[in-house]
Amino acid sequence: MKQRIITGIIGATVFISMVVLGGLPFTLFIAVVASVAMIELLKMKKIPTLSPIGFLSLFLMWLLLVPTTWVDLTFLSHVSKVEIFIFMILILLMVTVISKNVFTFDEAGFVILSTVYVGFGFHYLIMTRAAENGLALVFFVLFIIWATDSGAYFAGRAFGKRKLWPDISPKKTIEGSIGGIICALVVGVVFHFVFPIFSSYVLLFSVILVASIFGQLGDLVESALKRHYAVKDSGTLLPGHGGILDRFDSLIYVMPILHLLQLI
């Protein structure tokens, strides 16, 4: 427990400092964090990082991660990074043939889905911080996710009886999930009163509900991954907390959804 607390304090201090700093330092910091997360996924699938497929996976993830303007400055400015990504997918499929299925279709699918999951997840975190009121928005979403986790934990311990999804996460309960949403609503409203960043209460409550509900789904997605690949934690970088994906699973799941629904 002591190690977990120390790691949590140090990790939170570093991350919050980078969020406050913003700009290029924040982008580069997130690029490092995302790279570690991608390496954790590759290890789950037993794909060596120091291999052609490992390097290609990281390249695809970086391609989706970086701001679009970074790609526009290259000699391929007339081609979007999504088009480059699609071309690389075709190359991955070609490799399954050339390697005579040493690199399988299943592994190609894993690489593609993983790069989208990590790359776009952290990309939209960078884009949110770069917005006009990005600092407040990032902290708002963080507070909602933290409130959901805390509320779900305490409500689950006090009232939890019915399992939410026992095949994936046996300890989570329906009562805990509802408690997490209620806690997120309270924290979100208080945050909005102190730092009003939304134009209407409809938008405020929409963001809170989407962030809280999909934050819990993001946690379940990562739990399903770990259960499928029979690992306890995504990594060991954060003593007492597991890996990067264990700490960022909800955030990188929520950010793209909030943007795609045009809520932020």
C-alpha span between 88 and 18 (Å, rounded) = 32
In the chain, where the domains are located: 1-130, 132-264
Write out pLDDT tens, residues 57-75: 999 999 899 887 766 545 4
State residue 12's pLDDT score: 86
The DSSP call for residue 73 is T
**Could you tell me what percent of the chain has a pLDDT over 90?**
58
CB-based contacts of 146, cutoff 8 Å, min separation 6: 187
Which pLDDT band, with edges at 50, 70 and 90, does 2 fall under? low
Write out pLDDT tens, residues 137-179: 999 999 999 999 999 999 998 888 889 888 888 889 999 999 9
Write out pLDDT tens, residues 177-193: 999 999 999 999 999 99
State residue 65's pLDDT score: 93
**Could you tell me what percent of the chain has a pLDDT over 70?**
94
State residue 251's pLDDT score: 95
Q: Which of 18-27, 90-99, 205-214 has the lowest mean pLDDT?
A: 90-99
State residue 127's pLDDT score: 94
For 22, 112, 129, 255, 257, the CA distances from 126, given in Å and listed in that order, are 9, 21, 5, 10, 14
Query: Degrees (nearest 5) of the Cα angle 44, 244, 184?
Result: 120
